Amino acid sequence: MDPPPVLTRGAAQQRGPTAPEKQAQDQSERRPGRRRPGRRIKEDQEEEAVFRDVVSFTPDPLPARYYDKDKTRPISFYLSSLEELLAWTPLMEDGFNVALEPLERRQPPLSSPRPRTLLCHDMMGGYLEDRFIQGSQVQTPYSFYHWQYIDIFVYFSHHTVTIPPVCWTNAAHRHGVCVLGTFITEWQEGGRLCESFLAGDERSYQAVADRLVQIAQFFRFDGWLINIENSLSPAAVGNTPPFLRYLTTQLHQQVPGGLVLWYDSVVQSGQLKWQDELNEQNRVFFDSCDGFFTNYNWREEHLQRMVAQAGERLADVYVGVDVFARSNVVGGRFDTDKSMELIRKHGFSVALFAPGWVYECLDKNDFFQNQDKFWRLLERFLPTHSISSLPFVTSFCLGLGTRRVCYGQEQAVGPWYHPSAQEIQPLFGEHKLAGDSRGWVKTHCCLADAWHGGSSLLLRGLIPPEVDNVAVRLFSLLVPVPPKLFLSMVYKFEDSTDVQVALELTTGDASSCHVGGISVLNETGSRHSPRPLRVPPTKLARWASRCGQQLSGGWIQRCYEVSLHGCLLRDLLVSFSRPPGGSREEKSFICRLGEIQVVDANSLLTPLPRVQNVTISQIRWVPLVSGSEGLPTRLLLSCTLHWSYLLLQARCFRIHCRERTGSSSATEETPGTEKPVFLGLAFANQYRVVDLAVAAARFGQDGRVEFLVEPVPREGFLVPQVEWGRAVLLYSAPQ
């Protein structure tokens, strides 16, 4: 099969970053003070840095907080004490944990008065496989993918300062969901900690608040859940509302859309006394921050009393629901809908605590079915939010799989788990036709096949005799549409069928929205079915050259170009129809969706930045295989790559390598056209290569490894190798 199309650099001048973009870029490109010296050479008019190293099996130690001790894999971390919090300053290693994804725009915004849904993720102490920033190999990991139903994601653990693992922030932000860390104090030790910063003057609590704000701003998450679960002295509880007000004010200034929430525990007297409601004993804390998370043992009379207490801030009260159903609670487990019904009846937001119950307590082999069942039971109480920015691109990847696929080409076989690689997820469930029709479509995530990543979207359905087609709404959108829109869909049917599949879209008010430049097959109100392009537009031919063609693995790509004026894009649907003039018999179908792209056509003509300034540092060698003379013949290489790139234009980076030994020349070309070997994905301007097996250098000759950094633009296409960054490591045996 032909390789996927690539987008070449346009002739226009590269755009420079705006001031905020430049600041964000600089922040993620911090360099360590110590570097191995390298020299730069020219190859094919590209700049390629060359770094030299003499193999040594006694490497400099790495900071323990940032790496696992066995393989030096970068890990997300927490802070265990007030001293660690106050001493934290950003290092180069902190860059691994900075979220790539900005918080995507969404409608309605979080600030709207609509009741919200908060998910508090508490799983087995936290920092499990999700702590491995560059992913891990695990057979049956936990995954959350019903993002369209939730508004706030809290990462909870019992460490003093819980910084959300960056994989969760990337996945949530991609879906327009804000992410909070947790600041918790507990037991006698928690009381001593609170006394040390709350019982003194304002400088003490302001220093703690300032550092919490700095951490959220640096790692690019959105705020904090404050959970004081120990008694407070009169002095400490007196300073708690000013602490909350200062923290909230500073966070709002430094983190747009930031939130500070308070958990129902301490009352204004300083006693640890859960109230299970907002009342006069704890509302001083509610009045000092953005919201209140109640304890879980409430009854409907608590909710009735809270209506008057909350006043116009009903949506800022998050009524806690323990999905594990511990203690004396309403609902929980698969009866959580009973809790939701009462909470929504009174107009409150909800805080779902530990919905990972479906993973922890039920058969992991049935995890996907159980998770879908759990959220399906809540669906009627969970208003969805709409995506409101372009480009909109998804391969439906869950950020895990049993193999890894790149545009139809198998890249690696074996289990993998990398939540940062999760792409935008659709609305899941069963969609039935209105009225008495028996037509339906069901959507499921599916690991059995993938076009790109580790999974695809499985659509099963039935077209009954009395109708010509059935359709399923996959995404709710609210996007002001550019004048020319380019859409693409990659799909394949499970079995031979004459059922036809098409993308459909709905637009805003038809009186102000003009749809032109397309052939409309049918139109009902504001719903449009554009006809697929037979010949792509000349200026987009390279990007859309395979439209309508059979691709690797039996996949097919359909492309559409839509001209719009004054429109809002509202919904994205996929419809399945019987062929014109065909029989009226009942038709069932099974279809997989591999990718959907909705892109401003003009953005495809914008020149892309080049990956620059690739460096290699923090090198570690481990002997792997020894020869007859006791000298190693194979080595394990670990090292850190850094590069420069405008992160706001990147979806991620794919890291590759090429190895060659036996030459002492840095510039000598590798014979043949050796294909780069894929190493992994990066969601920052740095990547840790871990235990790469290479041949040991012979005496008098250099070993050579070339590293390549491939940028993946937000529009979701391949970039030619000329735009990749690269650096070479030449290594020699010790004398």
**What's the pLDDT tens digit per position in 588-602?**
999 999 999 999 988
Ranges of the chain with pLDDT below 50: 1-45, 510, 517-525, 662-672
Q: Of 714, 732, 13, which Cα lies nearest the Cα of 391?
A: 714
512: left (phi over 0), alpha (psi -120 to 50) or beta: alpha
pLDDT at 217: 98
pLDDT at 227: 98
Beta strand extents in 433-555 (DSSP E only) = 440-446, 456-463, 469-480, 484-493, 500-507, 514-516, 520-524, 527-530
pLDDT at 661: 52
Q: How deeply is 216 buried, as exposed, middle or buried, from its count of CB atoms within 10 A (0-12, 13-18, 19+)? A: buried
Distance CA 558, CA 487 (A): 8
pLDDT at 550: 82
pLDDT at 609: 87
Contact between 303 and 318 under an 8 Å Cβ cutoff? The reply is no
Residue 264 DSSP label: S
Distance CA 657, CA 679 (A): 7
Note the CATH architecture for domain 49-63+607-732: Sandwich (2.60)
Q: Domain limits of the chain?
A: 49-63+607-732, 115-357, 392-605
Q: Which residues contact 488 (CB under 8 A, 6 or more apart)?
A: 544, 547, 557, 558, 559, 560, 595, 596, 597, 599
pLDDT at 345: 97
Please, which residues bridge with residue 502 across strands? 575
DSSP string, 414-439: EEEE-GGGPPPP---EEEE-STT---
Domain 115-357 is found in CATH 3.90.1300.10: no
Residue 92 DSSP label: G
- Element holding 442 (H helix, E strand): strand 440-446
Residue 485 DSSP label: E
pTM of the full structure: 0.91
Distance CA 388, CA 102 (A): 13
Distance CA 441, CA 301 (A): 41
> Domain 392-605: which topology?
Jelly Rolls (2.60.120)
Contact between 660 and 696 under an 8 Å Cβ cutoff? The reply is no
Longest CA span, the chain = 83
pLDDT at 351: 98
